[in-house]
């Protein structure tokens, strides 16, 4: 039997403890964020969190921010048991849609150079390398800075997305 598709919905500061739990499952100790830090970020202007669930069970989240015409993925976390089932793609699709809705034309993010699965996902979404942050992570590994243009090709695989404007005839 096929696994249900992830459902993505907004998450507010009240979900910070749950998001921190998901983050702790997804990252090694040196990279984990606390509930307090996540809650404070969500509460800042321009910041937002999106939570993915499968069958009513939380499997991951993404935290982003938009300023002017640029968005940034601050973190994306998916429980190890929920990986390779579309949650990361659904979260990124929903983040891209929300960023575009808020006026962003481009999304930036960092990814560990050695994280092949995440790099493949971002490449499949159209992200290209824009730079490198040497020794960015606590273990001394580099981060690749990726740029993801949103443009008119934006389509979200997240079932909760609704169009923000009608299509333009002839385009």
pLDDT tens digits along 63-106: 999 999 999 999 999 999 888 899 999 999 999 999 999 999 99
CA 85/CA 168 separation, integer angstroms? 33
Q: At a CB cut-off of 8 Å and minimum separation 6, what does 103 contact? A: 66, 68, 69
The per-residue pLDDT for range 44-66, each reduced to its tens digit, is: 999 999 999 999 999 999 999 99
CA 65/CA 40 separation, integer angstroms? 13
From the candidates 3, 110, 129, 155, give the one annotated as an active-site residue: 110
From the candidates 122, 129, 137, 155, give the one annotated as an active-site residue: 122
- Which domains are assigned to the chain? 7-153 (3.40.630.30)
110 is catalytic: yes
70 is catalytic: no
| Location of structure tokens 């997804």 | 26
Q: What is the pTM of this model?
A: 0.85
């Amino acid at each position: 039997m096929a696994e249900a598709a992830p459902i993505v919905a907004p998450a507010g500061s009240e979900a910070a403890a749950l998001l921190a739990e998901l983050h702790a499952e997804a990252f090694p100790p040196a990279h984990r964020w606390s509930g307090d830090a996540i809650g404070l970020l969500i509460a800042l202007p321009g910041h937002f969190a999106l939570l993915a669930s499968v069958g009513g069970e939380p499997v991951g989240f993404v935290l982003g921010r938009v300023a002017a015409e640029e968005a940034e993925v601050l973190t994306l976390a998916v429980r190890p048991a929920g990986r390779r089932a579309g949650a990361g793609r659904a979260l990124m699709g929903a983040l891209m849609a929300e960023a575009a809705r808020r006026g962003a034309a481009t999304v930036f993010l960092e990814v560990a150079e050695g994280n092949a699965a995440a790099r493949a996902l971002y490449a499949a979404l159209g992200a290209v390398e824009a730079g490198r942050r040497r020794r960015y992570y606590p273990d001394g590994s580099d981060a690749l800075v990726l740029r993801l243009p949103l443009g008119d090709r934006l389509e979200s695989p997240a079932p909760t997305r609704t169009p923000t404007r009608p299509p333009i005839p002839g385009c």
